Amino acid sequence: MSEFLLKPRICFGQDALAILNDLPASHVLLVTDQAMVKFGLTECVTQVLHQRGITFQIWDDVKADPDIATLVRGMKLMDANYPDVVIALGGGSVIDAAKAVIFALAQTRVDTTRQRPCFVAIPTTSGTGSEVTAFSVVKAHTEKLVLVDPSLLPDIAILAPSLVASVPPTITADTGMDVLCHALEAYVSRHASDFSDALAEKVVQQVFLHLPLCWRNGDNLQAREKMHNASCMAGMAFTNASLGITHSLAHALGGVFHVPHGRANALLMADVVAWNADYQGQCDTEAARKYARLAHLLELPADSTRQGVASLLVAIQALKDEMVMPAGIRDTGVDSAEFEQRLPEMVAQALRDSCTPTNPRVPDANALTELYRRAWAGNPEQGY
Ligand SMILES: [Zn+2]
């Protein structure tokens, strides 16, 4: 049996935050980070709560890649405050932390009379799609662990483009490439379906059209809205279809060398597409045909499967170049000798990553090592 899970309720558009005026709540826990408080972005929530006379507490010490100690602090705070609504306002790390804390409390709570709080996710980057996914990425030592459970899904997602207008170009590029990677990997996943394909195709079209506009002019709210919606649709696609080895390799690279998640995907994506398509060989895999279909939808040359795959590879490279992204891992400040030394550890992590089993082509350690080495060099001379 196949299934496609649709949750949460999604509020989108320029006035999406208006839903907060109608939200039934008596005590709210606002999960966020210190930058959100410092730059006043939390006020879009706290002002409404003040006006409505709703008491609230702010948990603002969530940092990038939340670790176990952070989650334990969040569990203690949430358990002591007993909120009926949890609002997570921030990037993927903030939403993932709130998910993990709500989930862990539900699993460990002795007092079973307490209800799970209503969970509202308000993303402030267009990237992870965490507001609509049943995944939470947490860090244990140097390894990123992916929790997967339908109960991690928020109840309401609010997509307010005004909240992403101030995202700087570098982060716009990184997170936007993450959106593209989610769509590409869901599209060729072993668990892809008509439903996830429809979403992924729309996402790929919107990213190529609107991401450069967002990068050039962050205040372009029409383009920001398109990318914010694309990020959410990509999340809906991959929470159902799962992902592939670009993410497996990026999780390990990010865990060991702290390369931001979206940038890590951007560095690895083209080489994985070429490998999945068997571009150096027959270029006649099911994944290759689907990549060529995307090239056709993007109105790129795609008379044959090989030409379509080549067009998509060129388009990915051009998108990276347009946003002045690093070509290879070596351009991100990672030390060459340390990269080689830690390669086997990263390959082992990537092999056991939860995204690996749904990749269309089954990798072994040699294949993943080769992909890391290609991504290290950036291979602009490869000439797709
Ligand atoms: Zn991602």
Ligand 1 centroid – CA 111 distance (Å): 35
Give the pair of three-digit tokens for residue 343: 């390669």
**Residue 79 near residue 105 (C-beta atoms within 8 A):** yes
Q: What is the pLDDT along the chain (384 residues), one digit of tens a residue?
A: 888 988 999 999 999 999 999 999 999 999 999 999 999 999 999 999 999 999 999 999 898 888 999 999 999 999 888 899 999 999 999 999 999 999 998 888 766 677 889 999 999 999 999 999 998 988 887 777 888 899 999 999 999 999 999 999 999 999 999 999 999 999 999 999 999 999 999 999 999 999 999 999 999 999 999 999 999 999 999 999 999 999 999 999 998 999 999 999 999 999 999 999 999 999 999 999 999 999 999 999 999 999 999 999 999 999 999 999 999 999 999 999 999 999 999 999 999 998 999 999 999 999 999 999 999 988 654 555
Give the pair of three-digit tokens for residue 29: 């826990």
Fold of 9-164: Rossmann fold (3.40.50)
Return the pLDDT at 65.
82
Return the pLDDT at 81.
83
Ligand 1 centroid – CA 126 distance (Å): 11
| Residue range 169-382, CATH number | 1.20.1090.10
Return the pLDDT at 143.
73
Ligand 1 centroid – CA 246 distance (Å): 9
Ligand 1 centroid – CA 128 distance (Å): 5
Q: How far apart are CA 73 and CA 107, in angstroms?
A: 16
Q: How far apart are CA 281 and CA 150, in angstroms?
A: 39
**Residue 266 near residue 254 (C-beta atoms within 8 A):** no
Ligand 1 centroid – CA 59 distance (Å): 25
Ligand 1 centroid – CA 359 distance (Å): 14
Return the pLDDT at 106.
86
pTM equals 0.94
Ligand 1 centroid – CA 293 distance (Å): 22
Range(s) within the chain of domains with CATH label 1.20.1090.10: 169-382
Ligand 1 centroid – CA 27 distance (Å): 32
Q: How many CB atoms lie within 10 A of CB 158?
A: 26
Ligand 1 centroid – CA 178 distance (Å): 5
Q: How far apart are CA 303 and CA 316, in angstroms?
A: 19
Residues 299-339 pLDDT 10s = 999 999 999 999 999 999 999 999 999 999 999 999 999 99
Range(s) within the chain of domains with CATH label 3.40.50.1970: 9-164
Residues 146-176 pLDDT 10s = 888 999 999 999 999 999 999 999 999 999 9
